Amino acid sequence: MEKKIKQIILNRGQNLLRILVILIPMAAGIFLWDRLPDQIATHFGIGGEADGWSSRGFTVFGIPLILLVLQLFCAAATLADPKREKINEKMMNIVLWIIPATSIMVGVMIYTHALGYPVDIEKICLFYVGILFIVIGNYMPKCRQNYTAGIKVPWTLASEDNWNHTHRMAGWTYVLGGIAVILISFIKMASLVLLLPIILIVALLPILYSFLYYLKENREKKETD
């Protein structure tokens, strides 16, 4: 398994493909350069309204390059994980494709908005987050104890049994959270306000479960001693 995970991370063809996908928005930006305004909306608030702008140069070159650096860091961190062999292969591929997919989504949203095309930024973002949660949740229970992917808190890292139970529970939490995010995308103006509570629940509920499971393990251990 360790050899397979290492092959996934170091596969030159796949790495080149991921890098090219990350840089597609840069190529598109160069092609559209003369049609893009000097200041481009790169941050959107509640209701999908633009509330932050960047220069044309930073938008076209800076954002893809920042995402590329994050991608390389993610791959390097995973390669350095002493327990990387326990990461599910499909989960590893998902981890390595999140940033390329994000680069395409961000590029499409920013350029279409900058060119004046009608685009529902809020709904696209929520759909993307929802689908991402569902996909991650589907493979969360298959991910074994490691230091890169999963719910990495002291109690899961200290106990493999705690890790497995927490990730089975987290799988359902992420899937249900993803469905909820997709559903709220149809609620105009209030969807981004509702997004934060959902994300907090999805993120914190498995941590709370892990801690409670830890207390349960300790109590049972004391009773048997």
Q: Are residues 7 and 103 in the same domain?
A: yes
The pLDDT of residue 9 is above 70: no
**Last residue of some domain: 81, 100, 119?**
119
More confident residue, 58 or 122: 58
Q: Are residues 95 and 6 in the same domain?
A: yes
Q: Are residues 50 and 97 in the same domain?
A: yes
Model confidence pLDDT, tens digit, residues 26-38: 999 999 999 999 9
Q: What average pLDDT does this structure show over 174-201? A: 83
**Last residue of some domain: 67, 93, 119?**
119
Model confidence pLDDT, tens digit, residues 69-107: 998 888 787 776 666 666 667 777 777 888 999 999 899
Distance CA(147)–CA(137), nearest Å, equals 18
- The confidence score (pLDDT) of residue 169 equals 93
Q: What average pLDDT does this structure show over 47-62? A: 84
Q: Are residues 220 and 143 in the same domain?
A: yes
Q: Are residues 139 and 198 in the same domain?
A: yes
- The confidence score (pLDDT) of residue 11 equals 64
Q: Are residues 61 and 132 in the same domain?
A: no
Q: Are residues 34 and 95 in the same domain?
A: yes
**Last residue of some domain: 119, 149, 164?**
119
- The confidence score (pLDDT) of residue 2 equals 47
Distance CA(49)–CA(120), nearest Å, equals 10
Number of domains observed in the structure of the chain:
2
Q: Are residues 181 and 114 in the same domain?
A: no
Q: Are residues 96 and 145 in the same domain?
A: no
Q: 132, 182 in Cβ contact below 8 A?
A: no
Q: Are residues 221 and 127 in the same domain?
A: yes
Structural domain span for residue 94: 1-119
Q: Are residues 25 and 101 in the same domain?
A: yes
Q: What count of other Cβ atoms lies within 10 Å of the Cβ of residue 183?
A: 14
* pTM across the whole model: 0.76
